[in-house]
Amino acid sequence: MDRLRCLFGDPAAVPHPLGVVRYGTVATAPSVRSGTPTVDLHLVRDPAQAVTEVWTTDRPVSVGSRDGIAFGHDGRYVFCAGRVPAAARYAPGVRQAYRRAFGLLVDLGYPYVVRMWNFVGRINEPNADGLEIYRDFCRGRAEAFDSSPLPRDTLPAATGVGAHTEGVTFYLLARRAAGHVAVENHRQVPAYHYPDRYGPRPPSFARASRLPDGELLISGTASILGHATVHPGDVVAQCRTTLANLATLAADLSALQAVKVYVRHTGDLDAVRRLCTEVFVGDVAYLVTDLCRTDLLVEMEGMSP
Ligand code: 3EB
Three-state DSSP at 303 gives: strand
Over the stretch 161-192, which tens digit does the pLDDT of each residue have?
A: 999 999 999 999 999 999 999 999 999 999 99
Of residues 71, 92, 236, 57, the one with CA closest to residue 170:
71
What average pLDDT does range 204-230 have in this prediction? 98
Residue 292 Cβ inside 6 Å of ligand 1? The answer reads: yes
Residue 159 Cβ inside 6 Å of ligand 1? The answer reads: yes
Residue 61 Cβ inside 6 Å of ligand 1? The answer reads: no
Over the stretch 102-150, which tens digit does the pLDDT of each residue have?
A: 999 999 999 999 999 999 999 999 999 999 999 999 999 999 999 999 9
Q: 1 falls in which pLDDT band (50, 70, 90)?
A: low
Contact (Cβ atoms closer than 8 angstroms) between residue 61 and residue 98? no
Residue 238 Cβ inside 6 Å of ligand 1? The answer reads: no
Distance of CA 282 to the CA centre of its chain: 19
Atom 5 of ligand 1: nearest residue by CA position? 160
Q: Is residue 267 part of a domain?
A: no
What is the DSSP code (8-state) at residue 109?
T
Sort strands 208-210 and 181-183 into parallel, antiparallel or unpaired.
antiparallel
Is 299 in the active site? yes
Residue 160 Cβ inside 6 Å of ligand 1? The answer reads: yes
Query: Helices 133-146 and 91-108, interaxial angle, to 10°?
Result: 40
C-alpha 14 – ligand 1 centre gap (Å): 30
Q: What are phi and psi of 32, to 5 degrees?
A: -90, 120
Q: Is residue 124 part of a domain?
A: yes
What average pLDDT does range 253-278 have in this prediction? 97
Q: ipTM value of the model?
A: 0.98
Is 68 exposed, middle or buried, given 0-12, 13-18 or 19+ CB atoms closer than 10 A?
Answer: middle
Residue 218 Cβ inside 6 Å of ligand 1? The answer reads: no
Q: 152 falls in which pLDDT band (50, 70, 90)?
A: confident
Q: Is residue 83 part of a domain?
A: yes
**Domain containing 147 — which CATH number?**
3.30.1330.40
Quote the pLDDT of residue 102: 98
Give yes or no for residue 253 having a pLDDT over 80. Answer: yes
Residue 127 Cβ inside 6 Å of ligand 1? The answer reads: no
Quote the pLDDT of residue 245: 98
C-alpha 111 – ligand 1 centre gap (Å): 22
Sort strands 181-183 and 157-163 into parallel, antiparallel or unpaired.
unpaired
Question: What mean pLDDT value characterizes the chain?
Answer: 97
Atom 6 of ligand 1: nearest residue by CA position? 220
Q: Is residue 119 part of a domain?
A: yes
C-alpha 221 – ligand 1 centre gap (Å): 7
C-alpha 46 – ligand 1 centre gap (Å): 25
Q: Is residue 65 part of a domain?
A: yes
Q: Which amino acid is at 21?
A: V
Give yes or no for residue 88 having a pLDDT over 80. Answer: yes
What average pLDDT does range 31-51 have in this prediction? 95
Q: Is residue 142 part of a domain?
A: yes
Quote the pLDDT of residue 225: 98
CA distances from 33 to 11, 19, 40, 132, 201 (A): 11, 10, 11, 34, 36
Give yes or no for residue 39 having a pLDDT over 90. Answer: yes
Q: Is residue 184 part of a domain?
A: yes
Number of domains composing the chain: 1
Q: Is residue 104 part of a domain?
A: yes
Candidates 132, 143, 299, 301; catalytic one? 299
Give yes or no for residue 247 having a pLDDT over 90. Answer: yes
C-alpha 25 – ligand 1 centre gap (Å): 23
What is the domain range of residue 45? 5-220
